[in-house]
Chains A and B, each alone.
Chain A
Amino acid sequence: MVGKKKKIKNPGLTLKKRNVKTWAYAYAFVAPTVIGVAVLNLWAVIQSIYYSFHEAKGFAELKFVGLDNYIKLAGDMEVWRSLKNVLIYAVITVPIGVFLSLLLATLLNVKIKGKGIFRCIYFLPVVSAPAAVALVWKWLYNKDFGLFNQILSVFGITGPDWLGNPSLAMAAVAVVGIWSMLGYNMIILLAGLQDVPRGLYEAAEIDGAGPVAKFFKITIPMVSPTLFFVIVTTVISSLQVFDTIYMMFKPSSPSFKSVESIVYLFYRYTFQKYNRGYGSAIVVFLFVIIMILTLIQNKLQKKWVHYND
């Protein structure tokens, strides 16, 4: 790949020769990544869009069907239901999750001892495989013997069937989502907080500002660019939720209809029903939804994000 390691014996090589040499190195350097991305990602996106305009079931030949998959999708209750489910999931996890992350980051930004241990504990879920995490929480939520209902029974309360009850299941999944991502966002926000000049707080204290005022008047505006990044990435990842739900709910579960996410639906169509055409239409639909939400957030950021340049 980078075979020529000739030394430049004559620094006065003509400009052109030197340029060509640089180009050769540059192309060799970027080749693996550019080719990889071109094939595995760029080509893949084009393929997915291409499939979405075709009927592609099982091993049968592709058949061009125009917009049929999208027309079917527009009238498919299951699609809208799973969109509603992930939006509910996002509406619960994003505000609560980001708020708690910011709160923890703020607390850890105070000069106290033992910070490292707390940071470490909060971060543990981030390094845990979601498949395993889901099994652990499934056990905690168990209707008869799970920890939560055991604790409730100590107080004489008969706990609900957290995962089996359609109106509770999504909230239960959202709790797992919040717990899993808290540490990640906390670390990013903490890095943002550490860049806020201490002098600002001191000045505010002299003006008689309390902790709440300082939080809203200084902390939030000063970390708003980081906060914006965290919110955008958390919204995107919550719309893509799959692992936890897949591990906790089978299609036979009584609450399946209220927890099935778009990606789960995509997975079932593409890899269980082998309906690649419709599955691709679903994933393209998800892509469009994410694009729209990200664009809206980009528009809204002008109203609240402060860049100090």
Chain B
Amino acid sequence: MKVKNKKNAAVYIALIIMAFIMILPFVWSVLTSFKTQAEALRIPPQILPSSWSFKNYKAVSEVLPFATFFMNTFLMVVFRVLGSVFFSALAAYAFARLEFPFKNFLFVIVLLQMMVPGQIFILPQYMIVSKLGWLDSIKALVLPGIVSTFGTFLLRQFFMGIPRDLEEASVLDGCSIWKTFWKVMLPLTKSGLVSVAIFTALFAWKDMMWPLIVNMSIDKMTLSSGLVNLMGQYSVDYPQLMAGSLIAIVPMVILFLLFQKQFVEGIATSGTKG
């Protein structure tokens, strides 16, 4: 028992040290975001701000339209999630359960995308968006993420894991393929759908290069590409820069804290099933 306690204590110490290192950048940026410029630049450092007012957050929102950035990011994420979850589920079901000519060939085409570094698509995608006249729009933000290869692959694994009996019963009852898919199979892959949704949302949220390239006008920027702008304009006011950064960090953190289990399971499945 004693040995075990000692061992656990060692584990705790290691975990706490790592936790401290991991969280320090967040803590320091939060503290800085409440300080005045003078307080932030004090030597030796002043750890806590003198007052906890949101003036830097307010100031930074006056410099750049953060509410608009948030809305654009939100729309991009929502449409990408809806598109990729729905289209991936459809395709995954067909690839997992239906027999049709060229099935393997089409599946290989879909898989090829996963083996290529994403940057190779960017310029041609930009040209497509530009030819469609979609630059500086929400459509431009959504387009490259509207379908998901990874989602198709992951959900196909899910569908293949479901016993065939359920489906056969539904077909015998005279349900169409669509109904079987929608009413019987889809509800059984809920955890897979959530994984795909979280994955898509997370990567859309973190994407910086694409929004930076397609949407140059300030009212169509996302939080990430907006920050690039903020940095360009105010590279020395650190309290305001931290306030801006935190505005771009906090919403996803809240979502993560609310759906922690789903996030962790989603990421874990990507490793084991992917």
What is A's interface to B at a CB cutoff of 8 Å? 2, 4-9, 11, 19, 21-23, 25-27, 29-30, 32-34, 36-45, 47-48, 51, 100, 103-104, 107-108, 110, 112, 116-133, 135-137, 139-140, 142, 144-145, 147, 150, 153-154, 179, 182-184, 187-192, 226, 229-230, 236, 239-240, 242-243, 246-247, 263, 266-267, 270-271, 276, 279-280, 283-284, 286-287, 290
Q: Is the interface of A mostly helix, strand, loop or mixed?
A: helix
Q: Which of A23, A110, A150 contacts B8 (CB 8 A)?
A: A110
Nearest CB to that of B248 among chain A residues? A132
Interface pick from B50-58, B113-121, B161-169, B187-195? B113-121
Docked pose: A191 CA to B252 CA in angstroms: 23
B189-226 vs A, CB cutoff 8 Å, 1 = contact: the mask equals 00000000000001001101100010000000001110
**Contact in complex: B25, A137 (CB < 8 Å):** yes
Q: Say yes or no: A243 contacts B208, CB within 8 Å.
A: yes
1/0 contact trace for B122-156 toward A, CB 8 Å?
A: 11111110000000000000011011110010000
Chain B CB count within 10 A is highest, among A6, A188, A240, for: A188
Once A40-B125, A48-B124, A147-B45 are accepted as A-B contacts, the answer to whether A132 and B176 lie under 8 Å apart by CB is: no
Closest 10 CB pairs of A and B: A188-B271, A36-B147, A47-B124, A191-B268, A44-B124, A33-B91, A29-B94, A132-B245, A26-B100, A44-B121
What residues of chain B lie closer than 8 Å to A147, measured between beta carbons? 24, 28, 45
Which partner residue on chain B sits nearest A51 by CB separation?
Answer: B123
CB distance from A102 to the nearest CB of B (A): 13
In the bound complex, how far is the Cα of B176 from the Cα of A290, in angstroms?
45
List, sorted by A's number, 27 A–B pairs whose CB atoms are closer than 8 Å: A2-B178, A22-B177, A25-B94, A25-B178, A29-B98, A30-B95, A33-B147, A43-B124, A44-B125, A47-B124, A48-B120, A110-B7, A122-B19, A122-B22, A127-B253, A129-B208, A129-B223, A131-B223, A136-B245, A139-B28, A145-B41, A153-B43, A230-B271, A242-B208, A283-B119, A283-B120, A286-B119
